[in-house]
Amino acid sequence: MKRLVICGKNAIACKATEYTFDVITIHGLDLRLGTIPVAGDNGVDTWQPSLRQVSNQLGLPTYPSLSSASLTHDDILVSLEYDKVIRPTDLNHARAFNIHFSNLPKYRGCLTSVWPIRNGEKQAGATLHELTPGIDDGPIVDQVLFDVPEFMTAFDLYRSYIAYGYELYKRNLEKIASGDYVARTQDSSLAGYYKRSSVNFSELELPPFDQPAAQLRAYVQSLMFEPYQLPVFHGKRVVECDVLVWDIGKESLPPPAQAVIEDSEHAVVSCLDGYLRLRFHPEKA
């Protein structure tokens, strides 16, 4: 019997596993479901649900690694936030897919919740593509795009990826199970790539304020991912960031980086062309 194996973690892998289980049960499909949770998944929910726990509750087989799953050419693998490089030798000719959190070919690689915010992108997406030896460069099966409003933080964007990525999985499950789909080659001339090392998350103090306010706001919000980190201003963690839109004229601005208001709850800081308003976490960092 053909297997569909989901490898990965977090909400998207859990939701996809539960959905697939229900589809197989309701339709009586000749398809076995299994999972490969990441090594750090100990079966306990944190701010993210545990794929191992979901698999145990559903009575699904779990495999400690890709190699131990012993995939064959009849099987299907779907990677959903899996944290290891998947090599062709691990697949044994099984068909393999990945949902990448970006509008490929843009933003291949890591930190796709950070760089679109920091770069002021107006649109992002989730992409279902075939797995190839390269990094996120496989032919695209399907893609969904969505707007990125200027008030969106990195954490907001990540949660949008999960929501849209899950919908992308649902609408393509039957196609990838049957192989009845047409994939298109990515245009590598449009590709962009960021390494994990492209952002140093140990340095969270905000940069000099001698920049445009909108640019600074994007930088601040690109670091707002509260389960892991928040940007810091004068030792206080920032949870909200706004640009004051009142047009006062540049000649009336104080020098950049001057805090014209600062208390335990918020600050208003002058920038190159306006003011940035920061609200702090109720507890100091």
The CATH number for 101's domain is 3.40.50.12230
Verify that 100 and 190 share a domain, yes or no: yes
95 lies in some domain: yes
Of 194, 226, 242, the one marking the end of a domain is 194
Q: What pLDDT, on the 0 to 100 scale, is given for residue 207? A: 87
37 lies in some domain: yes
Verify that 155 and 274 share a domain, yes or no: no
Verify that 116 and 228 share a domain, yes or no: no
Q: For the chain, what is the domain count?
A: 2
Q: What residue has token string 């990965």? A: 8
pTM: 0.94
Whether 94 and 73 have beta carbons less than 8 Å apart is answered as yes
Q: What pLDDT, on the 0 to 100 scale, is given for residue 19? A: 98
38 lies in some domain: yes
Verify that 36 and 115 share a domain, yes or no: yes
Verify that 61 and 160 share a domain, yes or no: yes
Whether 219 and 210 have beta carbons less than 8 Å apart is answered as no
Cα–Cα distance, 197 to 199 (Å, whole number):
5
Cα–Cα distance, 80 to 28 (Å, whole number):
24
Verify that 224 and 185 share a domain, yes or no: no
Along the 285 residues of the chain, how does pLDDT read in single tens digits? 899 999 999 999 999 999 999 999 999 999 999 999 999 999 999 999 999 999 999 999 999 999 999 999 999 999 999 999 998 888 999 999 999 999 999 999 999 999 999 999 999 999 999 999 999 999 999 999 999 999 999 999 999 999 999 999 999 999 999 999 999 999 999 999 999 999 999 999 998 888 999 999 999 999 999 999 999 999 999 999 999 877 666 556 677 777 889 999 999 999 988 899 999 999 854
Verify that 254 and 134 share a domain, yes or no: no
Cα–Cα distance, 260 to 103 (Å, whole number):
40
35 lies in some domain: yes
74 lies in some domain: yes
Inter-CA distances, 45 with 20, 42, 48, 231, Å: 20, 9, 6, 26
* Domain limits for position 165: 2-194
Whether 230 and 204 have beta carbons less than 8 Å apart is answered as yes
Cα–Cα distance, 177 to 126 (Å, whole number):
19
Verify that 49 and 144 share a domain, yes or no: yes
3-state secondary structure of 184: strand
Residue 200 token pair: 């140093």
Cα–Cα distance, 123 to 103 (Å, whole number):
8
CA-nearest of 260, 238, 240 to 248 is 260
Verify that 225 and 176 share a domain, yes or no: no
Q: What pLDDT, on the 0 to 100 scale, is given for residue 89? A: 86
DSSP string of 230-269? --EETTEEEEEEEE------GGGPPPTT-EEEE-SSEEEE
CA-nearest of 119, 116, 84 to 101 is 116
Verify that 114 and 243 share a domain, yes or no: no
Sign for the pseudo-dihedral over CA of 70, 62, 33, 98 = negative
Helices 10-27 and 154-178 pack at an angle, to 10 degrees, of 30
273 lies in some domain: yes
135 lies in some domain: yes
Verify that 188 and 160 share a domain, yes or no: yes
Of 136, 161, 194, the one marking the end of a domain is 194
φ and ψ at residue 99, rounded to 5 degrees: -105, 115
CA atoms within 13 A on the CB side of 183: 21
274 lies in some domain: yes
